[in-house]
Structure 1
Amino acid sequence: MQTLYRQLLRLMPRLGVQVTDLGPGTAVVSRRGRRLRIPLGTDADLLARDNARYSVADAGRDTWLVLRDKARAAGAPAPQWTGVPLGDSGARLLLDRRAATDERTFQLSAAEYLCHQHVAAMLDFYGVNCVFDVGANTGQYAKRLRRLGYTGRIVSFEPTAETFARLEKAAEQDPDWRVYQLGLGSEDTAGSIHVGWKTMNSVLPPSAYGRDRYQRFATTRTEEIRIRRLDGLLEEALDGIADPRPFLKMDTQGYDLEVFAGTGKRIGDFVGMQSEVAVLRLYEGSPAMSEAIATYEQSGFEITGMYPVTREATTGRVVEFDCVLMRAEAAPARG
């Protein structure tokens, strides 16, 4: 005779509720999505929604990894994991051997991760309490800082109307994240920006190299924007911070030196900065990496990290680096 428990389980699907029976006295119920049962080994299963794009891989004795990927069918072979020690840090990287088949993607992903971690560490070490996010796009950089634990003020600048609307939406629940629909440059003026290039919108036109590399540069339209000098905005942006220790992040697709020039003498207020510098120039009129770094160093900043952003698949050459620089004299005294 069926127990009342079993009868209820049989009834629930008729009410639009999905049921996965785990055995005596235990079941998982869900209002949407069929459940996929993935065996992990002896005495252990994982239940995942079949469209949730998760899979499980063996990472050693009594240890399993849940991966955001398409759930593999029961009985499918697990990835071949190997543990790689990260120097003397005591940490290990769990690496699927298949990653070696796409070395460029793996290296760039690692560089991106390390850059974000390094910036977060520098913000903490130097006591940064205001980040100027120039070329904010839809707020990816600011959201990442929040996930990494930064709690100070963020001031983001994005000039284009459609992208700014998304940035404004992203910031609306964060009381210490301010957004401005402005471009920044070396003078207060009006200008136009090429749009339709996704995250690569720029005031500058593409170079011959850029057009050859990116198909998105083949077509374009422009949008009129306002451009301001940063030194004229600092007092408003820093209002309410008793002892400002600002950090300048620039990602303006070849226009970083113009933004930097617009800080004027107030650049001395900044304890650190981050700039995307080009080895192979994607935009006409953008500075070479050597020129950009020399300018930053002349203003008292010194490099603490260089991380490749893009690399040519055909040659391995780095196209652009994220360059992080800090003002060493602004480092806190350590007892």
Structure 2
Amino acid sequence: MDPPVADPGPTKDEGVGSKGEMDLPVANPGPVRDEGQLLQCPYCDSEAMHKLAQFLLPGLAAVCVDGTTGDLFRSPSVVAVDLRQEMVDYITQRSETFIADTLIESEVEQNADNQMPDDPYEVISIFMDDFSRTKRNIIGHVSGWLLSDSREDKIDDFVQEMDMTRFWPLERREGIAEVLLKNVDIKTKFHCPEKYENEERLADHKAQCSFRPVTCPNDGCRAKVSVRCMQDHDAACLFKILQCEQNCEKRLLRRDMDRHCVTVCPMRPMKCPFGCDSSFPEHNLEEHCSESLQQHLLKVLQVIHKKGFTADQLNDRALELEKSEDRGKLAKARDARSLTNIVKDLEAKKTPPS
């Protein structure tokens, strides 16, 4: 299958060019004049915009796969350029009339809260599903195919293919997502609705707007998020330096935390190598071996002397070994095998030759 051609960016010509170029609805980063020359704040919720942008690629992949399933002459990569343009045009046009259509429908039904979605992701999902249905071929309309694992696998594979070829880069999708977000955010939860009559007042507002984008302060992170989202981003940022979760002295990036705690952290919990029920930080192994020596000796003696010794005799022998002058040597054993060998050597020396 030929890979889809990467999107080189916006062009001046309308429509789709021979190399897969397309005009995309890019959000205007500057103030917007409307309603009597009022200037609108351009900022929106960065997390919601990013979520929408991520949804667009698998949405396109699903449309391409469903539209070419069973087609001997076309593959998803062949139709991707045209369907991308059609899909963007369709969902953009739907989003532009969404608020007006919703309000009209509410007035007709005399219920302002009647099934009014306030999640932009949910709204755009509906638009995507509607567009997808118009592009499915006969096989694509079969319910068994729509629910099959094979379909999901093909969609996932095509998403990865488009990612690798940068057919539709994330930054391009974010430009579209910003436009869609502002168009369908009927309750203004995800974009700033403030408008001002002059540039000076708008500038004052933008300096303190909770939707204004800021760069993550964690070294190495390039993310730009809205001020209102910074706390949530910081709580999950992979580049934030944290104290080890297991309270060792190490400070490390959040992205390295799991590997550190499992592999090299001296405080990582371990089970007793002798089979007792204890659990403790690895750096306390020596202390545990010394404190629980009698218990470990008893387990070893039970293996060595499977028959011929009563429980009391084994306990007495374990106590005798623990109090012997060889206690230090026994306490240095770090696993059952080494302790068993030491005990066998000591018992061999103690047993008189026949």
Q: Structures share a fold, TM > 0.5?
A: no
TM class by shorter chain equals under 0.3
Provide TM-score, normalisation by structure 1. Answer: 0.20
Name the larger-Rg structure: 2
| Bigger strand fraction | 1
